[in-house]
Amino acid sequence: MGVYRIRVSTGDSLYAGSLNQVQLWLVGQHGEAAVETRLRPMQGKEEEFKVDLSEYLGPLLFVKLRKRRLLQDDAWFCNWISVRTPGSSGDEFRFPCYRWVEGDGSGKKMPNFHDSPYHPLPRIQGHTLFEADFSLLDGIKANVILCSQQHLAAPLVMLKLQPDGKLLPMAIQLQLPSSGSPHPPLFLPTDPPMVWLLAKCWVRSADFQLHELQSHLLRGHLMAEVFAVATMRCLPSVHPIFKLMLPHLRYTMEINLRARTGLVSDLGVFDQVVGTGGGGHVQLLQRAGSFLTYRSFCPPDDLADRGLLGSPSFHFTRSWPLAGFPTSLQTREQACHFITMCIFTCTGQHSSVHLGQLDWYTWVPNTPCTMRLPPPTTKDATLETVMATLPNFHQASLQMSMTWQMGRRQPVMVALGQHKEEYFSSAEPKAVLKKLREELAVLDKEIEIRNAKLEMPYEYLKPSLMENSVAI
Which of 200, 354, 372, 462 is the binder for Fe ion (CB under 5 A)? 354
Residue closer to Fe ion by CB (options 349, 389) is: 349
Task: Please tell me the count of residues contacting Fe ion according to CB under 5 A.
Answer: 1
By beta carbon distance, the residue nearest Fe ion is 354
Instruction: List binders of Fe ion among 41-60 (CB under 5 A).
Output: none
The angle at the Cα of 362, spanning 390 to 191, to the nearest 5 degrees, equals: 45
297-305 own/partner pairs: CB under 8 Å, 24+ apart = 297/219, 297/223, 297/341, 297/344, 297/345, 297/349, 298/337, 298/340, 298/341, 298/344, 299/344, 299/348
CB of 220 to Fe ion, least distance (A): 6
281: contact with Fe ion by CB under 5 A: no
With binding defined as CB under 5 A, does residue 219 bind Fe ion? Answer: no
Minimum CB–partner distance for residue 350 and Fe ion (Å): 6
Of 110-118, 183-191, 348-356, 377-385, the window that binds Fe ion (rule: CB under 5 A) is: 348-356
- Distances from the Cα of 284 to the Cα of 201, 210, 323, 366, 457, angstroms: 20, 8, 19, 22, 32
Return the range that interacts with Fe ion (CB under 5 A); candidates 48-56, 277-285, 352-360, 415-423: 352-360
How many residues are listed for the chain in this entry? 472
Q: What is the helix (H) or strand (E) element at residue 94, kind and residue range?
A: strand 92-101
Closest separation between CB of residue 151 and Fe ion, Å? 27
248 binding Fe ion? (CB under 5 A) = no
Judge contact between 224 and 208, C-beta under 8 A: no
Nearer to Fe ion, 93 or 316 (CB): 316
Give the Cα separation of 65 and 56 in Å (integer). 20
Q: How far is the CB of 26 from Fe ion (least distance, A)?
A: 43
Longest distance between any two alpha carbons in the chain, whole Å: 93
Q: Supply the minimum distance, in Å, between the C-beta of residue 251 and Fe ion.
A: 11
Q: What is the rounded distance in angstroms from the CA atom of residue 195 to the CA atom of residue 201? A: 10
Query: How far apart are the two ends of the chain, measured CA to CA in Å?
Result: 50
> Site map for Fe ion, 295-334, x if CB under 5 A?
----------------------------------------
> CB-wise, 276 or 389, nearer to Fe ion?
276
For Fe ion, the binding residues (CB under 5 A) are 354
